[in-house]
Chain A
Amino acid sequence: MAAKKKLNMRKRYEVLTRGMGWDTTYQPMDKVFPYDKFEGIKIKDWSGWEDPFRLTVDAYWKYQAEKEKKLYAIIDSFAQNNAHLNVSDARYVNALKLFIQGVTPLEYGAHRHYAHLGRHFRGEGTRVACQMQSIDELRHCQTQLHTLSHYNKHFNGLHDPFHQHDRVWYLSVPKSYFEDAMTAGPFEFITSVSFSFEYVLTNLLFVPFMSGAAYNGDMATVTFGFSAQSDEARHMTLGLEIIKFMVEQHEDNLPIIQGYIDKHFWRAYRLLALISAMQDYMLPNTPMSWGEAWQVYYVENMGALFNDLSRYGLRMPKYSDVATAESEHLSHQTWSDLYNFTHAAAFHTWVPDDKKMDWLSEKYPNTFDKYYRPRYLQWREMEKAGERHYFKGLPQLCQTCQIPMFFTEVMSDPMKVSRRVSMYKGDRYHTCSDGCKDVFENEPEKFIQAWLPVHQIFQGNCGGAELSDVLNYYHLNDGEDNMEYVGSPDHKRWQEWKGEDKQDEAAAG
């Protein structure tokens, strides 16, 4: 008797899940799904969608529940054992402040928007993938808040991340990136977030933070990070799958998708400037420099990816060469800016010590000693003289990425500020690069509406005319959350916990 042939995984999944969607007859389909055609993306056959991980809801719950049990046991243990005392130095915690203020609200935004996509994509397979991602993103938001709530008990700057995300100048960078995607159509959003952010650039967000945590004794963040990354593998696959699906469905989609890839690669790359500074400067022990991470995770890995995608007619994102040239400068320029404005930021900054500067020299042999060490030595002298440098004005921001205009012409003259100008309806707009200028000029009606923190302060919409008014508006505690690290309440508490204050007294006496 012949054995019954078993269906393979792909076939089984297809049989179980397909046919759950239907074309409506009581209302026209275009009325039920009003958002998925206006971008000009043509989908001939939604059933051509290949589910990346073929998860049914019961399998999803099972694996997610197991991850949660393991994670929360470690979070509890971390809190009970006051394991925050095991981090290398309290300077490290500033990376976590940047994370909870800059990244955690984006997880919540992703949760909301994937729920929207989970309703508005016409294909049921795509909708299910988006619904699962929506739950994943809420999970990430929650696990980050739970993990970092312990740090909030012992360090400043972690107390009001959502309020600050919506108002504070450096946080408008991630906020505007995400809102740009959320106010776009579903195909642009999913290209921006699932592909550009969660596939192309994910390792440049993840590796700095999570390896940074591992190298600096932060067990809780390492654990949360790895737990979230296992979800990210599914997200990455969704991102790649959607790109392939869209270009396979109709040849007219190719230029639209390439345009989205170019725009959102550049916007997400600009956002990562904050991460580059965190990676090279905030971590007392740094596993890998930004320059090294860029080489491995972008130049090599994404080189391989776009080689593969070239069969569809896709190419590497525009201005990849600029980003690569900037990789030797980005972290230093960004850290310098944050150092200048730390009186208005909810984290501390400091001049790097000699050990760190020697490491930076080694990692950036072409640029650090020539352009950046002299600057830090100067600031160190000013600090010693009791005149720690804070910039007393407000910077010009790029109309697109909203970062202060400190980028330079790295391809031709790294000492020259990179500045572009566009005219629109009689007004002048400033951008920091060809990448940002292209974004502005492709959608000027969108970007002239940007809520730029510096303009808003000057217009009186941020609490008032004085710095103290603005800090109040930010819910930023002056003298606690902001300013130089050395001598801050975080620093003093750390010295008490470690007995370093007693050592200083003994040495003095």
Chain B
Amino acid sequence: MADNVFLILQDNEDARPIIEAIEKDNQDASIDYQPGMVRIESPGRLVVNRDSVSEFKGQDWDVMELQLNLVSLSGNIDEDDDYFALSWSS
């Protein structure tokens, strides 16, 4: 079984389309709502796709905007114009 990566976002309106995009693109992700923040865990890998977020948001979204809502994360980061991904190699 793969180790979990996680992403924690602030629980606000900006983060909502991001969370919806993650749910859509990561079948094995589990979402846990805690006070003020949302913790998203996924075995081995988690990806945030720019196109998915933009679609849910109804506006163009830049991957770098993730920084405004990021609380914590765990995993090796791979970032490009179209996605932000976390993974463990093991």
Q: Are B68 and A230 in contact (CB under 8 A)?
A: yes
| Chain B neighbourhood of A206, CB < 8 A | 72
Of A210, A211, A230, which contacts B70 at CB under 8 A? A230
From residue B18, how far is it (CB to closest CB) to chain A in Å? 13
CA A202 – CA B64 in complex, angstroms? Answer: 22
From residue B88, how far is it (CB to closest CB) to chain A in Å? 5
Q: Are B80 and A304 in contact (CB under 8 A)?
A: no
Judge whether B74 is part of the interface by a CB distance below 8 angstroms: yes
Q: Are B68 and A63 in contact (CB under 8 A)?
A: yes
Q: Using known A-B contacts A215-B35, A230-B67, A301-B6, determine if residue A307 contacts B90 with beta carbons closer than 8 Å.
A: yes
CA A203 – CA B73 in complex, angstroms? Answer: 10
Q: Which of the 9-residue segments A34-42, A233-241, A346-354 touches chain B?
A: A233-241
CA A323 – CA B35 in complex, angstroms? Answer: 28
With CB as the reference atom, state the residue of chain B lying closest to A304. B3
CA A4 – CA B34 in complex, angstroms? Answer: 46
Q: Are A226 and B3 in contact (CB under 8 A)?
A: no
Of A230, A287, A301, A305, which contacts B34 at CB under 8 A? A287
| Chain B neighbourhood of A305, CB < 8 A | 74, 88
CA A411 – CA B86 in complex, angstroms? Answer: 36
CA A237 – CA B73 in complex, angstroms? Answer: 9
SS of A interface (majority): helix
Q: Are B90 and A210 in contact (CB under 8 A)?
A: no
Provide the A286-319 mask, 1 if CB < 8 A to any CB of B, else 0. Answer: 0100000000000011011101101100000000
With CB as the reference atom, state the residue of chain A lying closest to B90. A307
| Chain A neighbourhood of B5, CB < 8 A | 304
Indicate the size class of the contact surface on chain A.
35 or more
Judge whether B10 is part of the interface by a CB distance below 8 angstroms: yes
| Chain B neighbourhood of A67, CB < 8 A | 68
Judge whether B59 is part of the interface by a CB distance below 8 angstroms: no
Q: Are A310 and B90 in contact (CB under 8 A)?
A: yes
| Chain B neighbourhood of A232, CB < 8 A | 72
Q: Are B35 and A214 in contact (CB under 8 A)?
A: yes
Q: Are B35 and A233 in contact (CB under 8 A)?
A: no
Judge whether B79 is part of the interface by a CB distance below 8 angstroms: yes
Q: Are A233 and B72 in contact (CB under 8 A)?
A: yes
CA A303 – CA B88 in complex, angstroms? Answer: 11
Q: Which of the 9-residue segments A51-59, A324-332, A333-341, A365-373 touches chain B?
A: A51-59
| Chain B neighbourhood of A377, CB < 8 A | none
CA A305 – CA B81 in complex, angstroms? Answer: 26
Within B39-90, which residues are at the interface with A (CB < 8 Å)? 64-65, 67-74, 76-77, 79-81, 88-90
